[in-house]
Amino acid sequence: MTEPFILRNERYFTLADFEEICPGIKAGFTTKNGGVSTGEYQTLNTGFHVGDFPGHAAENRKLVADSLGFGLGQWVGAEQTHETKVLKVTAEDKGKGSADYESAIRATDAFYTEEAGILLTLCYADCVPLYFTARGRSIVGVAHAGWKGTVGGIGEKMVLAWEKEGIQPSDIIAAIGPSICEDCYIVDDRVIEFAKNRLEETDKKPYNQISEGQYRLDLKELNAMILEKAGVPRSNILLTDYCTSCHGDFFFSHRKDQGKTGRMLAFIGLKEDASVEG
């Protein structure tokens, strides 16, 4: 499988396969480059909640908006809490969380919409971005899957929400974006027990023990397995090779940077005019 995330310019990668499946989709993941932030946040930090000067984060978002052709008034953002709430977004939500943290939609880690002219956005710095669309339907979604959201089944909950919208899991196309890799992600027994419970009756395990009480956990693969178990064909799941910790030229990493760092942005939306190139 070829790499689904293609570097478009210094500020962002595009999810090329999604944009080919539906020409009206704009989807991708920002880098840490091409912004105005300084210090630990240099330079394209998009997170309002990490200690960066709020004006810098707002300016960085404006730079990304100008690059994408989606104005900030079309963005929707969340107060992410590592839980599993999935929210259907409508035009009434446009602008929430786009230019400040106070207006962000509370306690939500996954969005989807069927309306054009809305850009769904969530922030990351090692956690797994999950992207969704479906064949034969103008619908897009994005989820934030740290280990808690992953073992809580946030990917499966998106699939279930779309089933209620009349979409079969076999028609869903999912992508797993830049996030920390197995080699860089060491966890303890407590986390692995949650993973084991999520993968009952599954022979393959996305983790390896490296010492007493210590494991390497492949969060990307764990999410892929959960989506497959929810009915999404493995052939419909696109998986990146980019690691937010290994590929420090492109990404912030919460683990590598010891918690003092910026955030990248996952984005996906349906353009109002599919002929417009952002």
Q: Give pLDDT tens digits for 132-170.
A: 999 999 999 999 999 999 999 999 999 999 999 999 999
Contact 266, 142 (CB under 8 A): yes
CATH superfamily of 5-179+236-270: CNF1/YfiH-like putative cysteine hydrolases (3.60.140.10)
Domain residue ranges of the chain, discontinuous segments joined by +: 5-179+236-270
Residue found by looking up tokens 């599919």 in the block: 274
Instruction: Name the pTM for this structure.
Output: 0.97
- pLDDT(200) > 90: no
Residue (of 146, 155, 152, 232) closest to 197 by Cα position: 152
Distance CA 78, CA 170 (A): 28
Mean pLDDT across 51-73: 96
Distance CA 126, CA 135 (A): 29
pLDDT-based confidence at 278, cuts 50/70/90?
A: very low
Mean pLDDT across 83-91: 98
Structure-token pair, residue 47: 């997170």
